Structure 1
Amino acid sequence: MTDIPCQLYLISPLDVGGRFPDRLREALQAAPVAAFQFRVKDLDQQEAARLAEPLKAICDEFDVAFIVNDDVALARQLGADGVHLGQGDESLKAAREQLGKDVQIGITCHDSRHLAMEAGEGGANYVAFGAFFPTDTKETHHRPELDILEWWSEMMEIPSVAIGGITPENCQPLIDAGADFLAVCGAVWNDPAGPAQAVGKFAARLEVGSEG
């Protein structure tokens, strides 16, 4: 079981052009964030790298881990801190061979204890469970119960990430159940008050959770 308080893990919207680097900076200035996941779809590696490089520089400035979604080759090209792999992506073993032992590799495990144990035994640095709540960020087919976080927290040292429709208003049960990270997207980037306000609201919840 980890003793580190639950932390925030930001996931990018699919559109990271335009003013998005400024919005990321606003979010990271607001309160501590542990990691940022660069998640884009249907772009060639050259264009993805062009969009990712300024975002990685901002994350480096704030000492935030820069994680690439799905793309091991892009993670290697960028010198990213980590890569997040879904069940249909490159295997954990192949990713580790390409990226080396120092790069963080996270694995989507949906609502499956079996997949999580496989990932842990295979050398994953974290496992992600979700979607815990309805979400518009991506299509979901799995809805885990809170007890999967409790079980993992009691069984394993490897951190867990809770994902899927998480907001400042609904996150407390996930914190209480032992999630090490809250992965959030829409609740931050779609907040009408702006990303800084949203991150601040999450930070307040996380501080309360760590004190409890």
Structure 2
Amino acid sequence: MSEPQNRCRLVLVVPDMADAEEQLKAVADALRGGDVASVIVPQYGLDDGAFQKRAEKLVPAIQDAGAAALIAGDSRVAGRVKADGLHVTGGGAELAEAVEKFTPKLIVGGGNATDRHNALEIGEARPDYVFFGKLDGDIKPEAHPKNVALGEWWASMIEIPCIVMGGTDAKSVLDVALSGSEFVALRLAVFGEPASAALVVAEVNALLDEKAPRFKD
């Protein structure tokens, strides 16, 4: 992740858009809105070749804005496009393998932590972060209560940072921040109306600046 702040920070999940140029513009616009720690680039349904072409455009734009670019898909693509990291959507074994293979060269995090037991298994691999929720799990205005609860439990006792998936309403970041989680991920809340992406990122940062609890050093 880029330079830490002493409060919960925003992570963006790139939306599934058919047009590569529209997708790139939406992401670049969002990053102009303010502080973003990292951007996760999912493969969605693209084959490796098409995904690599997308990532070749997205990764430099993300890095130029000062955020870390994390590839959620083929690890070879992450290497070829010089991404900052790899987001693993599989479970503990897949994540452990990626951690062993790619750290410290790449940021490696993710997991598929659906409960405390899963989360602790994933934590044993010592990833750079643990992700609660699914990358396309923003199906309601609010963050899923189970993921917020897992984030609160995790952040209170484990040093590895966590990211909690938010909802389709940008204000859902506040519930996540109040849980003590270090990062909140947004997708449709920012990119549902691409023309407003920068404005939403600015509003989210203003809300977190005003109301998110501060972390102790």
Query: Normalising by the residue count of structure 2, what TM-score does the alignment of the two structures yield?
Result: 0.83
Corresponding residue for 1:51?
54
Query: Normalising by the residue count of structure 1, what TM-score does the alignment of the two structures yield?
Result: 0.85
State how far apart, in whole Å, the 1-side matches of 2:75 and 2:147 are.
30
Percent identity, please: 27
Which residue of 94, 104, 108 corresponds with 1:105?
108
Corresponding residue for 2:210?
208
Which residue of 130, 145, 151 corresponds with 1:127?
130
Corresponding residue for 2:174?
172
Tell me, what secondary structure is at the counterpart of 1:206? Answer: helix
Question: Which range moves more in the overlay, 171-180 or 82-91?
Answer: 82-91
Contact 1:110–1:143 at 8 Å: present in 2 too?
no
The residue type equivalent to 2:83 in the other structure is: A
The residue type equivalent to 2:49 in the other structure is: Q
- Listed as ranges, the matches of 1:5-154 within 5 Å are 5-15=7-17, 17-87=20-90, 91-130=94-133, 135-136=138-139, 144=146, 146-154=148-156
Uncovered stretches (5+) of structure 1, i.e. residues with no partner: none
State how far apart, in whole Å, the 1-side matches of 2:31 and 2:153 are.
31
Q: Which string of whole-angstrom CA distances, capped at 9 and with x for unpartnered residues, describes residues 109-131 of structure 1?
A: 34311121122221211111126
Classify 1:161/1:49 alpha carbon distance in 2 versus 1 (closer, same or farther; 3 Å).
same
State how far apart, in whole Å, the 1-side matches of 2:54 and 2:89 are.
22
RMSD, aligned α-carbons: 2.7
Number of residue pairs aligned between Structure 1 and Structure 2: 206
Contact 2:170–2:186 at 8 Å: present in 1 too?
no
State how far apart, in whole Å, the 1-side matches of 2:57 and 2:203 are.
26
Contact 1:36–1:65 at 8 Å: present in 2 too?
yes
State how far apart, in whole Å, the 1-side matches of 2:192 and 2:201 are.
12
State how far apart, in whole Å, the 1-side matches of 2:102 and 2:91 are.
18
